[in-house]
Every structure is written in structure tokens, then in C-alpha cells.
Amino acid sequence: MGYSTEDEKLIDEAYKDLLDSCTKICKNDEDWNLIKRAFFLAKEAHQGVRRRSGEPYLLHPIAVAKIVIEEIGLGVKSVVASLLHDVVEDTEYTVEDIERIFGPKIASMVDGLTKMSGVFNADTSEQAEYFRKVLLTLSDDVRVILIKIADRLHNMRTLGYMPRDKQIKITGETIYLFAPLAYRLGLFPIKSELEDLCMKYRFPEEYEEISRKIRETEPQRSEYIERFCAPIRKALDANNISYEISGRVKSVYSIWTKMQRKQIPFEEIYDLFAVRIVFQALPFPSEKTQCWQIYSSITDIYAPKPDRLRDWISMPKANGYEALHSTVMGPDGVWVEVQIRTQRMEDIAERGFAAHWKYKHATLSQNDDAFDSWLKKVRDALNGPNENAVEFLDNFKLSLYTSEITVFTPKGEQRRLPYGATALDFAYDIHTKIGNKAIGAKINHKIEPVTKQINSGDQIEIITADNAKPKAEWLDIVTTTKAKQAITSFLKRERKNNIEHGIAIFESQLAKYHITASGRVLRKVIPAYGCYSKDEFYSKIGAGIISLDNIEKVLKSSSKSKILKFWKLWLNTDEPDDSEGDEQPVKRSVSDEEFTIAPCCNPLPGDSVVGFRDNATGKIIVHKATCDELNRLASQYGNNIIKDQIKWSQHKAVSYLSTIELRGIDRMGLLLDISHIVSEDFSINIREVCIRSHDGIFEGSISVYVQDANSLNALMDKFRHVKGIETAKRSTEIKD
């Protein structure tokens, strides 16, 4: 069945719009013909096919091609590959057909964009394997990844038509991998939009509330930015600098994450915006010198905050980002971040990798090969011996979304490592053999353990020994992909039968207490040790990552999953109940044996939750909707997200143990006020109070029994109004 007249009109309008964008990249008739041939082939291939929204499917590849031009800045071949990116996957056309019509390069790009399928290991997620294979295209053509990001961006923009479980799966993948990947490739606006769209579909009420507050505060913010910028404009005009100055508001997602992290309301976020100065650099002096001259002019007007100066011009980020950031004291005692960059730096900040290559041959920056060096690390990781795709994806994620430090070898060579890296990460960054033999380090000529965290500017020398070898606990210490993979590979070579070894250890431990390993025992101990399957549990025991010293305590303790036994977990399905003769969704209760509480986030009744089906036990593991571990699982085992929406429904009053972390200024009677609120105002029982005071500052925790999440939030809100208490936030850890 073909398209209707209305469909043809929509397609024609979208195609003309795309051709308007192509005027900036098409240099000759051959370029135009390539794009036109790709369009008509895609139109024929997708004839009559519709998206879930009901619109013609062809509008999707056209939209992806437009993103590739306008928002990423790629060229003709990338537009052709974008138009054809679903043709091989969804139609009768083959990669050989594409090669015959468009040549080997475009065929290779389309092949890289075509989704993979096949037989995978039982313990390997199909999605994770797919991601790994897609990333393999990095070794051939980075444009494939950029087009894949454009494809994901358009899918996210139209996600509202997908069912809830698919939304959770797709947003989980996006926040876990695609947004960090966009950031690493320098596509900051796309990274921010992907994050905002994830929040819009996962947490629509919070998204709308923050968006509304941003709109409502716009007039006051604009007035302040204009007042702040006026003297800066005057100074720049006096120096005959060609510039643009503007105020940029933080993304909704970044505001929300800060509110979540600090557990503060919107009104207490003071750095809602930054002022950006983009200027046209002169041929002389250097761009760096001109940036510092503008910085000097600004700090003549406003006092800078010394510890908030960020020089990414002398040492750009690994994604190519260059700028000078400074926080200065503006009018009315408000700290304001000012970003200073040239037009070239702005293009790279907005367009990332594509703009980097555009300028690569026109500049002589010592950091021109930053992308090359990162891509080399990715290729090394892809070609490594690690066969588990899920494990690979977890490790690859570490290399994407992280702040960086720069350290030096004994001979003065610079090395980039993620913030939080240890001397051991540095050792593996130099060479795997050095990491495997490391026993210590000299940091700034002082001997330190290899587990010591290193800081920007440190000079490091690794001390090795021939009889040294990696330890399993190193996996919890290192932060880089290369180090984790090297250690894991060594441990696998040394002990190939980790699972069998783990089973033997586990069964021998149980035998001491005259217990036989069974499904009931495993269901109790696996979540207690933070694992999600028996294979993972046995493997970690065999590798020495898990110690069973406290197994007796675990076996005797009551399972945390029992807290749900006084609540009912309801699954709201989309299927109508025919027996009742209506079209209302069915609400069915789930037995207590079907679910368990996720130990990583410990949701309380009343929290927004999502269910994940565990393959090993068949149980539904209940996670908080905001849980980072849920995003990881959704990105790798998205098909295990249960389709039904989970609701809590109480049928018997009961209390649940939860912990609140407190911090503030110490004073006489503070503990009395805290206990009075808990016992008198809320009639809640206290399990444990632990308060420490030092130099007039106190911090600690209070474990209480509450009925649900609303009760806990009300209690924390009351704490925040107590004189001296600066922060009160919920801890995910449960006191034993």
C-alpha cells in the first residue's frame, strides 16, 4: 500500500527542507545527484511503511539527515548514509546493492548503521553486544557513530508514541551510553537535549515543574544578566573587540540532578546560568593571549573566585573543548560564571568532532590529536580479550563521562586520566605489564601505595617487582577502562574456572552450617552481596571479589524483600478485562514470592518504582525510578523491563527502616531538637542516632522507622527548618 496524497505532501515538504540545508555542503552536481538518488531509493524501499506515530516512515531518515547537517555538521556521504540507514535492515535491499549503486564507502557506513542480530552467549545481553559491534565502526569511520547519535536524537524527540516499558528501555540506553558518547565526541547541545528528553519521559511532572519555574524567573534573570554585562560590553568595545555576549541557562536535567544530589529545592540553585563571550580572534597575538586579555578586562570590573578558574585553553578536554571559565562576584553578591572562547572554540563546543576536523589542518594546537588518542584507546578496548559484552559496555562507559586530570611521567610526558584515578590507573595507562607488576609509586618524589588517588599536576613514577601480580580487589580501586580490562584479563587467565571454583567455596561454607545450596538459599544471598544472578555471584566468589566471612549473618538475617509483605504490588496492564465487558486496564496483584527489593536503592512504599525481571530467579526486582543501576540494566537488558506499571497499595500499617544523613553547624540542644521532632511531632521510633562534631560542624545520621516515602520526606523537610541543620537527605544504605 502506497502513501496518501497528504503523506506525499508531508514527504515533499521535508525533502525540500533537507535540500535547503544541503546547499551548504553540496559542491557540484555529483553531490546533488548522490543525495537525490539516496532519497528516491529510500522512498521506494520504505513505501507505505509507517512509524508508531502514524506518519510515513521516510520522514525519520530525512529528519536524521537534517540533524547530521545542521546540528553535527557532516557532509554529503553522511547525508546519503543517513537517508539509507534503515534500508538494509528493514527492506529487501542488501549492502551489496548499496555498494553497487553508491560505492564502497557509503555501503560501509550503511553496513555499520545496520542493526546486528545473531546468536549470543546466554550471559550476554543482545543490546550490549549490539553496542559493542556498533562501536567497532569507530575503527573504520567515526561518522557512523555520529549518524547513530543523530538517529537516537530523532527517536528521542518522537518517544511519546512508544509504550511505557519501551520508553524506560530507550531512555535507559540513552542516559547510560548515548548522552555520554555525545559528550565525549564534543556534541554538548545534543548531549544536553538527550538528557532533557530522558527526564521529560521518565519524570514528566518534575520536568514540567522545573521548566515552568525557569520560564517564570526569565524576566528577573534577563534583567540581571543585562546589568551584569553592561560594564563588560563597555570594556570590550573600548578595546575594539568583535564579540557576542549572552546568558545561557542550565539544562532542565542538570538543574534536576543538582537538586537530587544536594536534595535542595529549585529556589536554592544559584548558578542557573552562565555568561558566554564569543569573540573573533585576530591573527596576532595568539588566541590564548587574547582570551587572557579579555579575562583581565573582566576581573578589573568584577572580583574573581580564585578556586573557580578553569583553563581549558592551555590544556583542552579530551573531546576537544577549549575555553576559559572564571566565576566572578557580580552585582547584589551573586557569583556568576563567565565563559570566554573564540569563534573557532565555539564551533568545536557546539559541533564537536566534525568541527574539530574542520579546523585540524588550520591550527597547530598541541592537542589536535586528542580525539585520535581517545579513539585509539577505544579500539584497543574493542580488540581486547574481554568477551563479555555487558562487562565491556560497563568498562567503556567509564571512559566517556568523566572530568579529567593531567599528570606527568618522570620525564615530563603528559598523561590524561579521569578525575579520581589512582597511581595504579597511571601504571596501566603507561603499559599493561607495568600495571601488572606494580607494587608502589613515587608521587612528587614521595613513596605512596599504588592505590593512592592522584591529582592534576602530579609527577608519578611506578615501582615494580617481578613477583607482583594483580589482585581481585584492584577492580574496586581502578577507574579507567584499560586498567579494569587488563586486571580482568589477568584474573581470567589465572583462574578460568571462576564459577566452578566459586561453587566449591560456597558449598563448603554452607556445609559448615549443615546447609545445602538450593534456590531458596540463593534467592536470599545473591541480592545480599549486590549480585543479580547466580553466575555473577559464583564468579565473584571464585575471583576473590566476594568474601563469605559473614555468610552466617546473611543466612540468619531477615531478607530486606520482606518489607513489601505488608503492601501489595500492583501491575497495571494495558489489556482489557473481557470478563467484565469493559475496556478498563486490568490491575492484578503480584504474590510476595514474585518480587524483591533492589539493594542498590532500597525503594520505600510511595516511591516511584520500575520492575526488572531477573533471568536467574524469575523474580521482579523493584528499583526506584531514579536509580542509576536501573539505567545500566535498561541499557543492557531492556527487554527485561516489565511492561506493566507498578503501583503501591497499602493494606496494613507498618513501619520501614530508613536512614537520613544530616549536616550543619553544631550548637547546644541540637540533638534534643532532632529527637523531639522525631518522637513528638511525628511519633516515629528511632533505631539509631550517630552524630559527630568537629570544629563547630556536625555530621551524622539518624535511622528511623517510617510508614512510607511521604512520611520520610515530611520528616526531612522538618529537619531542614531546624536552626543549624544545613542539609538533610535520604541515604540508600540501610543500617543493620
The CATH code of domain 210-360 reads: 3.30.460.10
Contact 270, 334 (CB under 8 A): yes
Instruction: Map out the domains of the chain as residue ranges.
Output: 5-198, 210-360, 402-493, 498-557, 561-650, 656-731
Give residue-wise pLDDT tens across range 73-131: 888 998 999 999 888 877 888 888 888 999 888 888 888 777 533 322 333 445 556 56
Question: Are 402-493 and 656-731 the same fold in CATH?
Answer: no
Q: What is the pTM of this model?
A: 0.66
For residue 593, what is the DSSP state?
G
Question: In terms of Cα–Cα distance, which of 264, 158, 200, 360 is closest to 720?
Answer: 264
For 154-171, write each residue's pLDDT tens digit.
999 999 888 888 888 888
Position 733 pLDDT exceeds 70 = no
- Band (pLDDT 50/70/90 cuts) for residue 374 is low
Report the pLDDT value the prediction gives residue 379, as an integer from 0 to 100. Answer: 60
pLDDT for 130: 56
CATH number for the domain formed by residue range(s) 5-198: 1.10.3210.10
Could you tell me where the DSSP H helices lie in 59-185?
Answer: 59-67, 76-83, 87-90, 95-102, 104-113, 126-136, 142-157, 164-173, 179-184
The rounded distance, in Å, linking the Cα atoms of 204 and 311 is: 37
CB atoms within 10 A of CB 210: 22
Query: What gap in Å lies between CA 521 and CA 594, rounded to an integer?
Result: 16
- Region 142-150 average pLDDT: 84
Give the amino acid at 515. I
Q: Minimum mean pLDDT among 132-136, 587-591, 627-631: which range?
A: 587-591
Query: Quick one: residue 535, left, alpha or beta (phi over 0 = left, psi -120 to 50 = alpha)?
Result: alpha
pLDDT over 80 (residue 193): yes
How far, CA to CA in Å, does 338 sit from each of 188, 228, 251, 441, 548?
17, 11, 17, 38, 53
Residues 79/110, Cβ–Cβ less than 8 Å: no
Write out the CATH class of domain 656-731: alpha beta
pLDDT cut 70: percent of the chain above it: 81
Q: What is the mean pLDDT of residues 174-198?
A: 87
Angle at 478 between CA 475 and CA 416, to 5 degrees: 150
CA distance 61 to 343: 31
Identify whether the C-beta of residue 135 lies closer than 8 Å to the C-beta of residue 378: yes
CATH fold of the domain at 402-493:
Ubiquitin-like (UB roll) (3.10.20)
Instruction: Put residue 468 in one of left, alpha, beta given phi > 0 → left and psi -120 to 50 → alpha.
Output: beta
- Per-residue pLDDT band for 700 (boundaries 50, 70, 90) equals confident
The mean pLDDT of the chain is 80
Answer whether residue 655 shows pLDDT above 80: no
- DSSP state, residue 423: H
* pLDDT for residue 563: 37
Residues labelled as active-site residues: 89-90
Which SS3 state, helix, strand or coil, does residue 435 take? helix
